[in-house]
């Protein structure tokens, strides 16, 4: 292929998560997950039991329409498809000793379908879907027992699917735990918030669990490649003042510590300082320290936006729409949901991660959430989503730049390759897909699928291995 920086074998595809796409929230023995009681997303109140206004209970009914959806991905030429396994389909409550066979069988059917189309699976073991029972009875990841439950779950998956799935991710956006404890860590949030001591202990438990999964994969599925997954967010100093530069460094450390532990196998000094200054003492056993040395094969990450940071409290006006906090950047435009659009930030993050960790990188989420209008063109229903094409095109050009910079990038899976329920706001009107799904925020719609303009555009990008960008 001429005129493309993307290497041969670059994996092009799309990504989803079980709780945002499958529906069938109680089918075939599935237990409840934290998502089943989050009808309004991250910041809304949780419900006691699943309520009809929770769009995720039906999702886009992928549980029953997966074959049609995967055929559409194949039509675009996907070489890889990232999806998550719903923990509570496999272990309905999370603490059982035997898995639910019907749950495993569902993912077997997905893998069959992917194999039929020659699409490589990329599996997230835990994507914001902690079984609700583990949240309510154990306090989620604040409890050390979760490590053992996760370990059993991961082992079950590696044993069953290890010969069919090469790429695995342990926890989706593991660095969101402190910012979204219930969604990310199944940690019930009392009035006044979760004490920091507990949050950091939960972070430690997840990091140990992630490393143990890597350790188990080496033993059970030696061909498997295990990666961590972090939410990436480049941070710019609001002004050139040294104090702002230090504020950026410290904010960056808060994010980078997760990748540092996953790739280097121990806590960095700056993190120990943070704990010291906060007066936090973590319960870390010798076994934990040993587990952490089982480092990942690659680093994967999501990228949507960048933020700015300042040391000046008067200028610390939080940007809209991001769960990490941070200050709005006056030089950038934002999406309809206030996420600041910054393609160059993707090149910066790729370079930063590569320089820092020297591990192959996988961009497993990127995309634009926007309101789409279904129209008729030449007798076909479609969405003329030139804004989405522009967003993705600009970001992919920057991936090409990073590859020219020498960064090793394994692949790119755009987020929500088919419209799904939003994680932060639980809306269906915040659409990311190349494929439009007829279902609205009120839950009505035929659930029919339609190819958007970006569908053909992405197919061209894949066919030309990025030369068409
Ligand atoms: C990431 C999550 O944070 O961003 C996804 O891993 C999520 O689950 C995606 O859907 C986009 O966020 P949102 O809130 O627009 O769905």
In DSSP notation, 398-466 reads HHHHHHHTT--EEEEEEETSB----TTT--SSSB--SEEE---TTS-S---EEE-HHHHHHHHHHHTTT
Residue having the nearest C-alpha atom to atom 9 of ligand 1: 423
| Number of other CB atoms surrounding residue 325 within 10 Å | 14
Q: Six-digit token pair at 425?
A: 């706001």
**Residue 386: CATH number of its domain:** 3.20.20.80
Does the C-beta of 232 come closer than 6 Å to ligand 1?
Answer: no
Index of the ligand 1 atom closest to the CA of residue 41: 14
Q: What is the pLDDT, as a whole number, of residue 314?
A: 86
Give CA separation, 410 vs 122, 453, 462, 466, in Å: 12, 26, 14, 14
Index of the ligand 1 atom closest to the CA of residue 432: 15
Q: Are 460 and 393 in contact (CB under 8 A)?
A: no
- Is pLDDT of 1 > 90? no
Q: What is the pLDDT averaged over residues 240-249?
A: 97
Write the pLDDT tens digit of every residue in 423-464: 999 999 999 999 999 999 999 999 999 999 999 999 999 999
Q: Are 417 and 364 in contact (CB under 8 A)?
A: no
**Exposure string over 114-148, b if 16+ CB within 10 A, otherwise e:** beeeebbbbbbbbbbbbbbbbbeebbbbbbbebbe
Backbone angles phi, psi at 212, to 5 degrees: -65, -35
Give CA separation, 227 vs 199, 210, 259, 337, 352, in Å: 23, 9, 10, 30, 17
Catalytic residue at 101?
no
Q: What is the pLDDT, as a whole number, of residue 393?
A: 98
Q: 170 lies in which domain range?
A: 11-463
Task: Give bridge partners of residue 436 from the DSSP assignment.
Answer: 450
Does 31 fall in a domain? Answer: yes
Q: Is the ipTM of this complex over 0.95?
A: yes
Q: What is the pLDDT, as a whole number, of residue 325?
A: 67
Residue having the nearest C-alpha atom to atom 7 of ligand 1: 423
Write the pLDDT tens digit of every residue in 402-422: 999 999 999 999 999 999 999
Write the pLDDT tens digit of every residue in 117-149: 999 999 999 999 999 999 999 999 999 999 999
Does the C-beta of 430 come closer than 6 Å to ligand 1?
Answer: yes
Task: Name the nearest CA neighbour of 227 among 117, 301, 151, 328.
Answer: 301
Does 227 fall in a domain? Answer: yes
Which of 43, 368, 424 to probe ligand 1 with, by most ligand atoms within 8 A of CB?
424
Q: What is the pLDDT, as a whole number, of residue 319?
A: 65
pTM of the model: 0.98
Does the C-beta of 424 come closer than 6 Å to ligand 1?
Answer: yes
Which of 365, 367, 433 to probe ligand 1 with, by most ligand atoms within 8 A of CB?
365
Between CA 417 and CA 14 the distance in angstroms is 5
Q: Are 292 and 208 in contact (CB under 8 A)?
A: yes
Q: Six-digit token pair at 101?
A: 């066979």
Residue having the nearest C-alpha atom to atom 10 of ligand 1: 423
Q: What is the pLDDT, as a whole number, of residue 44?
A: 87
Index of the ligand 1 atom closest to the CA of residue 172: 6
Between CA 177 and CA 353 the distance in angstroms is 20
Q: What is the pLDDT, as a whole number, of residue 395?
A: 98
Contacts of 2 by beta carbon, 8 Å cutoff, 6+ apart: 467
Q: What is the pLDDT, as a whole number, of residue 151?
A: 98
Does 117 fall in a domain? Answer: yes
Does the C-beta of 17 come closer than 6 Å to ligand 1?
Answer: yes
CA 241 – ligand 1 centroid, Å = 33
Task: Name the nearest CA neighbour of 251 among 307, 185, 300, 305.
Answer: 307
Does 160 fall in a domain? Answer: yes
Residue having the nearest C-alpha atom to atom 2 of ligand 1: 423
CA 424 – ligand 1 centroid, Å = 6
- Is pLDDT of 73 > 60? yes
Residue having the nearest C-alpha atom to atom 12 of ligand 1: 423
Write the pLDDT tens digit of every residue in 144-202: 999 999 999 999 999 999 999 999 999 999 999 999 999 999 999 999 999 999 999 99
CA 304 – ligand 1 centroid, Å = 9
Q: Are 367 and 13 in contact (CB under 8 A)?
A: no
**Exposure string over 369-378, b if 16+ CB within 10 A, otherwise e:** bbebeeeeee
Does 24 fall in a domain? Answer: yes
Index of the ligand 1 atom closest to the CA of residue 17: 8
Write the pLDDT tens digit of every residue in 260-307: 999 999 999 999 999 999 999 999 999 999 999 999 999 999 999 999
Index of the ligand 1 atom closest to the CA of residue 173: 6
Does the C-beta of 302 come closer than 6 Å to ligand 1?
Answer: yes
Q: Six-digit token pair at 183?
A: 């969604």
Q: Report how many domains make up the chain.
A: 1
Q: What is the pLDDT, as a whole number, of residue 323?
A: 63
- Is pLDDT of 386 > 60? yes
Does the C-beta of 369 come closer than 6 Å to ligand 1?
Answer: yes
Does 152 fall in a domain? Answer: yes
- Given 365, 376, 380, 408, which residue is catalytic? 365
Q: What is the pLDDT, as a whole number, of residue 17?
A: 98
Index of the ligand 1 atom closest to the CA of residue 176: 3
Write the pLDDT tens digit of every residue in 8-55: 999 999 999 999 999 999 999 999 999 999 999 998 899 999 999 999
Q: Six-digit token pair at 419?
A: 């419209």
Does 277 fall in a domain? Answer: yes
Write the pLDDT tens digit of every residue in 297-353: 999 999 999 999 999 988 877 766 666 667 889 999 999 999 999 999 999 999 999
Between CA 228 and CA 100 the distance in angstroms is 26
Does the C-beta of 422 come closer than 6 Å to ligand 1?
Answer: yes
Does the C-beta of 365 come closer than 6 Å to ligand 1?
Answer: yes
């Amino acid at each position: 292929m001429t005129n493309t920086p993307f290497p041969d074998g670059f994996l092009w595809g799309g990504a989803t998560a079980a709780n945002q796409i499958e529906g069938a929230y109680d089918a075939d023995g599935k237990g409840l997950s934290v998502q089943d009681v989050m009808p309004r997303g991250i910041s809304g109140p949780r419900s006691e039991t699943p309520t009809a206004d929770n769009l995720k209970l039906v999702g886009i009914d992928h549980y029953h329409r997966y074959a049609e959806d995967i055929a559409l991905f194949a039509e675009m030429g996907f070489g890889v498809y990232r999806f998550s396994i719903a923990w509570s389909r496999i272990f309905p409550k999370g603490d059982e000793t035997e898995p639910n066979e019907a749950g495993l069988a569902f993912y077997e059917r997905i893998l069959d379908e992917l194999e039929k189309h020659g699409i490589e699976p990329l599996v997230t073991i835990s994507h914001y879907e902690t079984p609700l029972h583990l949240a309510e009875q154990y306090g989620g990841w604040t409890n050390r027992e979760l490590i053992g439950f996760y370990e059993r779950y991961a082992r079950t998956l590696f044993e069953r699917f290890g010969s069919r799935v090469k790429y695995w991710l342990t926890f989706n956006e593991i660095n969101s735990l402190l910012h979204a404890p219930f969604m990310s860590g199944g940690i019930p949030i009392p009035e006044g918030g979760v004490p920091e001591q507990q949050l950091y202990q939960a972070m430690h438990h997840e990091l140990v669990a992630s490393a143990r999964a890597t350790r188990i994969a080496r033993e059970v599925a030696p061909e498997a490649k295990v990666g961590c997954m972090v939410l990436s967010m480049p941070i710019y100093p609001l002004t050139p003042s040294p104090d702002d530069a230090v504020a950026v460094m410290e904010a960056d450390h808060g994010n980078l510590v997760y990748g540092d532990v996953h790739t280097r196998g121990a806590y960095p000094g700056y993190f120990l300082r943070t704990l010291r200054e906060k007066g936090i003492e973590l319960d870390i056993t010798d076994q934990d320290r040993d587990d952490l040395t089982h480092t990942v094969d690659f680093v994967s990450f999501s990228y949507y936006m960048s933020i700015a940071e300042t040391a000046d409290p008067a200028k610390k006006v939080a940007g809209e729409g991001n769960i990490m906090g941070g200050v709005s950047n006056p030089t950038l435009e934002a999406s309809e949901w206030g996420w600041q659009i910054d393609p160059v930030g993707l090149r910066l993050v790729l370079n930063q991660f590569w320089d820092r960790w020297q591990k192959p990188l996988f961009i497993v989420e990127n995309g634009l959430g926007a309101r789409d209008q279904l129209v008729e063109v030449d007798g076909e229903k479609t969405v003329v989503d030139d804004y989405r094409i522009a967003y993705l095109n600009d970001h992919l050009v920057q991936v090409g730049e990073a590859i020219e910079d020498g960064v090793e990038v394994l692949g790119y899976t755009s987020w929500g390759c088919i419209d799904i329920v939003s994680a932060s706001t639980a809306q269906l009107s915040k659409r990311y897909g190349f494929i439009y799904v007829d279902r609205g925020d009120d839950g009505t719609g035929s659930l029919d699928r339609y190819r958007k303009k970006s569908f053909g555009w992405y197919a061209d990008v894949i066919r030309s291995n990025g030369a068409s960008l």
